[in-house]
Amino acid sequence: MDERAAVAWLHRRIGLGLSPAELDAARARGLTAELDRLVHPTDATDPWAGVDVPTDPKAGKAERVRVIAAWLDHLSTTSTPMLDRLAWTLHGWLVSSMDKVRSPAQMVGQVQLLRAQGTGSFPGLLRAVATDAAMLRYLDGADSTAGAPNENFSRELLELFALGVGNYTEGDVQAGARALTGWTAGRSDTRATFRPRRHDDTPQQYLGHSGIHDVDGVIAAAVAQPAHPDFVARRVAREVLGTTDDAVVASLVAAYEAGGRRLDVVVQTAARLAVEGGTDPAPVVLAPVPWLAMIRRSTGAAPPVAAVAKDLRAAGQIPMFPPNVAGWPGGKAWFASSTVVARADLAAAVAGATAQDHPTLDAARQGDLDALADRLGVPDARFSDPTAAALDAAPDPRTRLALALTSPEVVIA
């Protein structure tokens, strides 16, 4: 990858795209400085600053849309793109859904936690998520008591969050459930409470350790398993590099262990491997939400939120509404027909909302396809022949822009 291409690649894989002006500035700084800047975010602003976020689980659709729209706006304009991309990834990893949680404030609280601690210790984040109000509601810890422990969180902590299937027993799931009892949150509480009378303090045999009796012990035992670093490394390798090649995973395991068990360090290591030629990254299909954030950024457009919400539903990805505890299925699942059609509709909404004098629309108007590809962050700044033929044939500049935004070169990073 040459340096110009690498800067664009980085921002699509570990960031959220760039505006034309930002892309020029990033290239002027150079790859090394740009990567350094990406992975050392400063001045993180809260997506919901100044937004009225209801705690009421019975909040209406308009209030929910407002809360989601604030996040989408933030993802499209953030000055800390790696931090926000990571938080987005974590939202599909340490999953809760407003479908069950109901209270918008609880969901916002969880995303704020992912933003605040996503770049810190990952075991620390797991510990915080374990007693996060939204998580206690989503995976039923809130209703779990000493007399009748609920296994939901205990199981998914091991299967989906920290270790992966095959690295624990049913006995571990049940022992963990007992040790995790006592933490609860009401339907509109934004903070969890520990109620000792609901807690089973009996020492448990858990993941090969004895005497585990509380949430701290559960998380510590889980992350002490040999399978944990490999599980984390594989997840990051797949997300950032599109591969789970053994050598790549081994490098990321080493980075995780040496770097204080921080995801941002692993992400940074993965990105360096790719841009410095240590590995050849495989293409990845951008999920609808990060893709939308990127095309908004490269066009400066903010299409009407009602249309966006409808199209994202059709695309299969509404923020804060993951389909189940495993998050969104990625990759080829995004070639679903409804996603393809919804992407075209979203692209048309973005193209329609792009300012007349925006340089990206100007490139579409001039029919300068190399410039258009570059403005849209396509690393080698050119469209393939089939795409170029289709764009040449577009009836008007905004349709040309919409089709460019929907093209494989933009959807696949």
Query: Cβ of residue 276: shortest distance to other proteins, in angstroms?
Result: 24
Per-residue x/- mask for other proteins, residues 391 to 410, rule CB under 8 A?
--xxxx--x--xx--xxx--
- What crossing angle do the helices spanning 61-77 and 104-117 adopt, rounded to 10°? 20
Q: What is the largest CA-CA distance in the chain?
A: 72
**What x-and-dash track marks residues 345-384 binding other proteins by CB under 8 A?**
x--xx----------------------------------x
Using CB under 8 A as the binding rule, whether residue 339 contacts other proteins is answered as: yes
Are 92 and 327 contacting, i.e. CB atoms less than 8 angstroms apart? yes
Q: Does 139 engage in binding with other proteins (CB under 8 A)?
A: yes
> Nearest approach, Cβ of 24 to other proteins (angstroms)?
27
Cα 195 from chain centroid (whole Å): 32
Nearer to other proteins, 28 or 333 (CB): 333
Task: Please state, in angstroms and rounded to a whole number, the distance separating the CA atoms of residues 387 and 389.
Answer: 5
**Binding to other proteins (CB under 8 A): which residues in 16-35?**
none
Site map 49..88 versus other proteins, x via CB under 8 A: ------------x--xx--x--------------------
Tell me: does residue 169 bind other proteins (CB under 8 A): no
Which is closer to other proteins, CB of 11 or CB of 102? 102
Alpha-carbon gap, residue 248 to 273, rounded angstroms? 8
- Looking at residue 282, the DSSP 8-state letter turns out to be P
User: For residues 229 and 258, is the Cβ–Cβ distance under 8 A?
Assistant: no
Structural tokens at position 411 = 């959807």
Q: Report the C-alpha gap between 140 and 152 in whole angstroms.
A: 6
Question: Per CB under 8 A, does 155 bind other proteins?
Answer: yes
* Residue in 78, 106, 144, 190 binding other proteins, rule: CB under 8 A: 144
Pattern 265-304, binding to other proteins, x per CB under 8 A? ------------------x-x-------------------
119 touching other proteins, by CB under 8 A: no
* CB-count exposure of residue 371 (10 Å: 0-12, 13-18, 19+): middle
Q: Supply the minimum distance, in Å, between the C-beta of residue 216 and other proteins.
A: 23
Residues binding other proteins: number (CB under 8 A): 70
Q: Which is nearer to other proteins, 26 or 292 (CB)?
A: 292
What is the 3-class SS of 33-81, one letter each residue? HHHHHHHCCCCCCCCCCCCCCCCCCCCCHHHHHHHHHHHHHHHHHCCCH
Structure tokens at 400: 């040309």
Question: Rule CB under 8 A: is residue 326 a binding residue for other proteins?
Answer: yes
Which residues of 168-269 form beta strands (DSSP E)? 183-184, 193-194, 204-206, 209-212
Q: Does 336 bind other proteins (CB under 8 A)?
A: yes
Q: Give the C-alpha separation, 366 to 372, whole Å.
A: 9
Taking the CB of residue 156, how many other CB atoms lie within 10 A of it? Answer: 19
Q: Which residues bind other proteins (CB under 8 A)?
A: 61, 64-65, 68, 99-100, 139-140, 143-145, 147-152, 155, 159-160, 165, 170, 173, 283, 285, 309-311, 313-316, 318, 321, 323-326, 329, 332-333, 335-342, 344-345, 348-349, 384, 386-387, 389-390, 393-396, 399, 402-403, 406-408, 411-412
